[in-house]
Amino acid sequence: MVPLNWYIILSAIMFSIGVVGFLARRNLIIMFISIELMLNSVNISLVAYSHYLQSLRGQILVFFIITVAAAEAAIGLAIIIAFYKNNPTIKVDEINLLKG
């Protein structure tokens, strides 16, 4: 059986990749995918803890996270499309109308 530690380390690595991806990549879609990666790394650790602790709370939270992530994707992509109609770019460096 795979020990708990491995799952937690996997989750921590995935979360870090997500954070670095969010901060380093300059494309809105890639940044969005990075956020999804972070959320799913949390799901992995929650399920692992839930199995380890023999408690269902973690898995219930995972269902909520998946549902909310779907809603978030719908809203996020809609916002990106609304944005793209006015300024045809998805490069973050070019989103600089508001600054100061």
Decide whether 24 or 68 has the Cβ nearer to other proteins: 68
86 binds other proteins (CB under 8 A): yes
Binding mask 9-38 for other proteins (x = CB under 8 A): --x---x--x---x-----x--xx--x--x
Residue linked to tokens 């719908």: 74
Decide whether 1 or 66 has the Cβ nearer to other proteins: 66
Using H for helix, E for strand and C for coil, what is the string for the chain?
CCCHHHHHHHHHHHHHHHHHHHHHCCEHHHHHHHHHHHHHHHHHHHHHHHHHHCCCHHHHHHHHHHHHHHHHHHHHHHHHHHHHHHCCCCEHHHCCCCCC
Determine which residue in the list 20, 24, 29, 53 makes contact with other proteins, applying CB under 8 A: 53
Contacting positions for other proteins (CB under 8 A): 8, 11, 15, 18, 22, 28, 31-32, 35, 38-39, 41-42, 45-46, 49, 52-58, 60-61, 64-65, 68, 71-72, 75-76, 79-80, 82-83, 85-87, 95, 97-100
